[in-house]
Amino acid sequence: MGRSKVNVEESGMEKGVVESAAVEASAQFKSLIDTDQIRSVHQLQHLILGRLQDSNAVLTHFNDYSERCYSNVSGDFSKNTHILKSMKSDLDYIFLKIRNMKAKLSATYPDAFPDDSTAKIMDQRPDLEKPIGFHNK
């Protein structure tokens, strides 16, 4: 019984020592940190948080707007894409027919189409691949 009383007193003393050590360590940390700097960092964090929340709201609004715009034009886009694909296949067919006719005409009338050297001289159309230059006068 005497022994348990001693253990209780020792554990109380240990708690007191640990508590005083914690208080001392806390005081040492507080002396290392300037409270004005902490306050300044805290204000900057709140400022940054506000800006991030504003940016998030703007991006959310933009995403909603973009989604509405996309839903408005997606039908037209798919329709026009289908039309362009159809036009391409029609043009491919037309050019195939023209090539076949040219081959038949070349076989029947060999002089009907000039050779490559003469074709360059006869073809005076502008090259549409070159950018248009502006000349100063």
- 123 located within any domain: no
What are 13-40's pLDDT values in tens digits? Answer: 788 888 999 999 888 888 888 888 889 9
Please give the pLDDT value at position 137: 44
pTM (whole model) above 0.75? no
- 69 located within any domain: yes
Q: Do residue 103 and residue 60 come from a single domain?
A: yes
What are 45-84's pLDDT values in tens digits? Answer: 999 999 999 999 999 999 999 999 999 999 999 999 999 9
Q: Do residue 25 and residue 50 come from a single domain?
A: no
Q: Do residue 42 and residue 98 come from a single domain?
A: yes
40 compared with 121, residue with greater pLDDT = 40
CA distances (Å), origin 42, targets 38, 55, 125: 6, 20, 71
Q: Do residue 46 and residue 89 come from a single domain?
A: yes
Please give the pLDDT value at position 92: 93
Q: Do residue 54 and residue 94 come from a single domain?
A: yes
Q: What's the whole-number average pLDDT of the chain?
A: 83
Q: Do residue 61 and residue 15 come from a single domain?
A: no
Residue type, 17: V
Long-range pairs, 52-59, Cβ under 8 A, ≥24: none
- Spatial neighbors of 119 by CB under 8 A, at least 6 apart, are 113
- 73 located within any domain: yes
Q: Residue 28 is part of which domain span? A: 1-32
The total of structural domains in the chain comes to 2
Q: Do residue 40 and residue 91 come from a single domain?
A: yes
> What CA–CA distance (Å, rounded) separates 90 from 56?
48
